[in-house]
């Protein structure tokens, strides 16, 4: 494997992760601010799905764990059980607070979470530069270095996010030769992205989809199924008008194009197949 190509590709993955965090920043910047005196938030009433954790708080702590250490402290003080919460960004792209801090290289948040009882994994160990623990994982489960983290981010990218303290871990993972292999996608020229933009809906399934570009010129889909909403899922191009959502290659979005304009998009794979028709630009 060409080490220069590996580093360049992983830096690109890291940059896309940071841009994805920026894309979600608007949502994360508006915390739930639930009332600590009652787990039902400001109303003090039980939330939908009780006794499972309040999904608004789960989304907030995972989001905040990418960049907002103070908010993570506040949430853990009010709701210590959130330390091992897990949020599905869409289609099964699961992430814990520790997973969030690990792939963006936020050591302070990671150490805070671990001190509060977060369950350490190989991705956190790699980012923190705990080479002995990473080696132990690989010895116990050969090939585990190829396992991808949240959003499909490789293990080596987590170690590189750790900066100088993780330099030894980076060197060890590079020596394995395959710890930086991510999901395969196809480059898509900027001018070709425009054809996929628009609004789509399926009245039968009460599903709406918006395909747009974020500030980093990455293709994003926002999905709303009834009252449930998933915003800002990055989609990766596979070729022939087909994409997969970040971290979930088993799900595909296939755009039907006529005269350089998309008329519909079909979601298929490990989910019920549904086709949404274009409703607007």
Map out the domains of the chain as residue ranges: 3-176, 190-280
User: Class assignment of domain 190-280?
Assistant: mainly beta
Whether 144 contacts 154, CB under 8 Å: no
User: What mean pLDDT is predicted for residues 91-106?
Assistant: 97
pLDDT tens track for 125-134? 999 999 999 9
Q: How confident is the model at residue 204 (pLDDT cuts 50, 70, 90)?
A: confident
Q: How confident is the model at residue 27 (pLDDT cuts 50, 70, 90)?
A: very low
User: What mean pLDDT is predicted for residues 124-147?
Assistant: 98
CA distance 106 to 95: 15
Tell me the average pLDDT of the chain. Answer: 86
> Model pTM?
0.83
- Per CATH, 3-176 and 190-280 having the same topology is answered no
User: What mean pLDDT is predicted for residues 164-170?
Assistant: 98
Q: How confident is the model at residue 138 (pLDDT cuts 50, 70, 90)?
A: very high
Identify the CATH number of the domain defined by range 3-176.
Answer: 1.25.40
Q: Take residue 108 and report the two structure tokens written for it.
A: 């302070």
The three-class DSSP label of residue 91 is coil
CA distance 72 to 68: 6
Q: What percent of the chain has pLDDT over 90?
A: 72
CA distance 231 to 224: 8
Higher pLDDT, 215 or 1: 215
pLDDT tens track for 102-118? 999 999 999 999 999 99
CA distance 215 to 23: 7
Strands (E), the chain: 87-88, 94-95, 198-202, 207-213, 219-225, 228-239, 242-245, 251-258, 261-269, 274-280
Does 13 score more than 60 pLDDT? Answer: no
């Amino acid at each position: 494997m060409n080490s220069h190509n590996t580093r360049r590709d992983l830096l690109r993955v890291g940059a896309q992760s940071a841009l994805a965090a920026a894309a979600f920043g608007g949502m994360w910047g508006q915390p739930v601010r639930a009332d600590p005196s009652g787990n039902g938030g400001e109303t003090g009433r039980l939330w939908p799905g009780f006794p499972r954790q309040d999904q608004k708080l789960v989304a907030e702590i995972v989001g905040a764990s990418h960049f907002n250490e103070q908010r993570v402290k506040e949430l853990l003080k009010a709701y210590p059980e959130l330390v091992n919460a897990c949020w599905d960004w869409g289609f099964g792209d699961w992430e814990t607070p520790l997973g969030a801090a690990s792939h963006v290289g936020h050591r302070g948040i990671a150490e805070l979470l671990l001190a509060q009882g977060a369950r350490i994994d190989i991705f956190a160990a790699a980012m923190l530069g705990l080479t002995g623990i990473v080696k132990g994982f690989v010895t116990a489960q050969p090939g585990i270095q190829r396992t991808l983290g949240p959003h499909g981010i490789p293990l080596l990218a987590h170690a590189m996010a750790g900066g100088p303290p993780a330099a030894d871990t980076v060197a060890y993972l590079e020596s394995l030769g395959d710890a930086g292999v991510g999901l395969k996608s196809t480059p898509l020229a900027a001018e070709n992205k425009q054809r996929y933009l628009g609004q789509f809906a399926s009245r039968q399934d009460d599903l709406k989809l918006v395909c747009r570009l974020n500030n980093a010129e990455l293709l994003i889909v926002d999905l709303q199924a009834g009252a449930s909403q998933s915003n800002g899922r990055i989609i990766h191009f596979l070729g022939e008008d087909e994409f997969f959502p970040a971290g979930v290659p088993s799900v595909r979005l296939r755009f039907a194009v006529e005269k350089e304009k998309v008329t519909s998009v079909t979601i298929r794979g490990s989910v019920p197949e549904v086709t949404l028709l274009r409703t607007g630009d």
